[in-house]
Amino acid sequence: MSREATNKIRAIIVDDEELARQVLREFLASHPEIELVAECANGFEAVKAAAELKPGLIFLDVQMPKLDGFEVLELLGSDAGVIFVTAYDSYAIRAFEVHAVDYLLKPFSAERFDAALARAKDRLGGKMPPASELAAAARPPAQYLDRIPVRDGTRVFIIPVGKLDYAEAQDDYVALCAEGKKHLKQQTISSLESSLDPSRFMRIHRSYVVNLERVARVEPYGKDTHVAVLTSGVQLPVSRAGYARLRAFLDR
């Protein structure tokens, strides 16, 4: 490889169908400024490849085994440009109307592909919308998460929301506590809260969202403050507003 290789945009292709990857590979061949560094057939591979190879550009299918395109998007760092490649997905279209880098609807022409690529290159230097924001926009309205994907290095954990005990805000991260383990995820606690079903999860404190099924009791703690005691024995601080909400729920 020559020195120019470092100036190339590194790209990965994520699609579970070999023929679909083949089209992208073929169209990419006429763009020497793009270097194809990996092809992935499922979401896990994609997250791993993205973490290891730090690509600048990702071609991403929506419906795939293991993790779907949106979940992959949620686990990516925000520095990669993503072009969705999908047969038909109104959510993807909606997401990209708001935050789009671009999307390609299968089947697509070489011209359409080139246009998407040009657009992505323009955006690469500039600021990209955070991937988690894109993923949130892509979620259909009034539909809450069933599971939360979390990335630890190149490994991916899936936490079903029923197993989540509580979440704690830690600067730019949230710590998700499930089955006695903590998983860090780059997300604000407010954005996590908004993606969880409010009849099952409650914000009891500026820094805490709790799974209501796990709350064993609420006890006073000093003057004006309370703690929620979980079935596991863990105690979480409850703010005054959180206490009012929690009481309203428990008195029901």
Provide, rounded to whole angstroms, the least separation between the CB of residue 18 and another protein: 6
| First and final C-alpha spacing in the chain | 68
Whats the size of the chain, residue-wise?
Answer: 252
| Span interacting with another protein, options 52-60, 65-73, 128-136, 233-241, rule CB under 8 A | 65-73
- C-alpha span between 153 and 47 (Å, rounded): 9
Judged by CB under 8 A, the number of residues near another protein is 29
Contact code string over 90-109 relative to another protein, x by CB under 8 A: -x-------------xxx--
142 lies in the binding site for another protein (CB under 8 A): no
Q: If binding is defined by CB under 8 A, does position 112 make contact with another protein?
A: no
Sheet holding 173-178, edge to edge: 181-186, 173-178, 164-170, 208-211, 201-205
The residue to which tokens 């979620």 are assigned = 139
Q: Are 15 and 41 in contact (CB under 8 A)?
A: yes
Q: Which is nearer to another protein, 11 or 20 (CB)?
A: 20
Instruction: Report how far residue 233's alpha carbon sits from residue 252's, in angstroms, rounded to the nearest whole number.
Output: 23
Nearer to another protein, 106 or 240 (CB): 106
Q: For residue 206, what is the DSSP state?
A: T
Q: Which is nearer to another protein, 15 or 35 (CB)?
A: 15
Which residues in the 14-33 window bind another protein by CB under 8 A?
16-20, 22-23, 26
Q: Which of 4, 30, 54, 63 binds another protein (CB under 8 A)?
A: 63
Q: Helices 110-125 and 18-28: crossing angle, nearest 10°?
A: 70
Name the residues that contact another protein, by CB under 8 A. 16-20, 22-23, 26, 41-43, 63-68, 71, 87-89, 91, 105-107, 140, 146-147, 158
